[in-house]
Amino acid sequence: MQTIYEASILLVDDNPDLLVLVGDSLRTAGYTCIRTAATCAEARALFAAAAPELMILDINLPDGDGFTLLRQLHAKADVPALFLSARDADADRLLGLGLGADDYLTKPFLMQELLLRVQRILQRAYRAELCRAAPPALELGDCQVDLADAAVYRPDGVTLPLTATERALLQKLADNRGHIVTYDALCEAVWGADYYGCENALNVHIRHLREKLEENASRPQWLLTVRGIGYKLAGEAQR
C-alpha cells in the first residue's frame, strides 16, 4: 500500500441502501478496494479470504452483533475498525472503543465526516508503512505536502487534507516538476483515457489546490498556469 486510497476496506451493515451509499462515497473519494457484507458470516468469510486494512462495522446485525464480530476478527488480525451505529448510548460507545475500535460514529452522520475519520484512521495506522513506500515530502517554500498521507502541512500549523483527485493532480505535477503538464495529460492522469470534457472540472480542482498550497491563491507562486497549454509546478529556482 503506497497511499491510503489503496487500502482494502471491509464495510459491514445489514442495510443494503447504506452499503451502497457508503461504498459509492468511498469510491468517489478515491478508495479503490471496497468489500461489503450484510451479516457476520459474510464478514468472517471475506476477512478470512483477505484481511482488510480497515473495517467499518454496524452493531446490530441479523446473525450477531458488531462487538462480538470485532472480538472474533481481532483474534485473527489487529485491523483498525470504526463503528457505525444507531446506538448512541455512552455505554455502547465506550464498549466499542474498549474492544479496540479506533472510532465510533452515530447514525445518522455526515458523509464528509465519515470520509475524514476514515482518512485519519488510515493515516495514523499505516503512517510508518506509507513513509517507507512514499517519496520525500514535496516542499513548496514553507509549505510541505505528504502525498502518501494526502495532506498539506502549512507553515501556520494548519493541516489540510487532499482529496483523491487533488492528490492525483499534484502527483502528476510533482512527477514533472519544473515542466509544463498539458491539460490532456492531467485529465488522463485523473480520469483515465475517457476524459473528454473534463477541462472545466480540472480548473475547479486546480483552484481548490491553490487555496491549500498558496499563500495567495489569486497570485500563485507554485502552481502556475501556462495559458492555452496546461499547468506547471514551479521548482524553487523558478519562482
Taking only the tens place, the pLDDT of each residue in 213-224 is 999 999 999 999
Highest mean pLDDT among 33-37, 100-104, 110-114: 33-37
End-to-end CA distance of the chain: 34
Helices 66-74 and 90-98, axial angle in degrees (round to 10): 10
CB burial of 209-222 (b: ≥16 within 10 Å; e: otherwise) equals bbebbbeeeeebeb
What backbone phi and psi angles, to 5 degrees, belong to 175? Answer: -65, -25
Q: Kindly list the distances between the CA atom of residue 207 and the CA atoms of 70, 121, 186, in Å, as whole numbers in the listed order.
A: 42, 27, 14
* Cell numbers 486510497: residue: 5
- What is the pLDDT confidence band of residue 29, given thresholds at 50, 70 and 90? confident
Decide if pLDDT at 237 tops 60.
no
Average pLDDT over residues 103-109: 86
Does residue 142 or residue 46 have the better pLDDT?
46
pLDDT of residue 14: 93
Q: Provide the angle, in degrees to the nearest 10, between the axes of the packed helices 40-49 and 66-74.
A: 20
Q: Which domains does the chain have, with CATH numbers?
A: 4-128 (3.40.50.2300), 136-238 (1.10.10.10)
Mean pLDDT of the chain: 86
pLDDT digits (tens, 9 = 90+) for 15-24: 999 999 999 9
Claim: this prediction has a pTM higher than 0.75? no
Please report which residue ranges of 38-152 form alpha helices under DSSP H: 40-49, 66-74, 90-98, 111-125, 127-133
Q: For a pLDDT cut of 90, what percent of the chain falls above it? A: 42
pLDDT at residue 89, rounded to an integer: 66
Q: Any residues with CB less than 8 A from the CB of 7 and at least 6 apart, and which?
A: 1, 31, 33, 52, 53, 54, 122, 126
Is the pLDDT assigned to residue 82 strictly greater than 70? Answer: yes
Report which of 140, 137, 114, 113 is spatially closest to residue 127, judged by C-alpha positions: 137
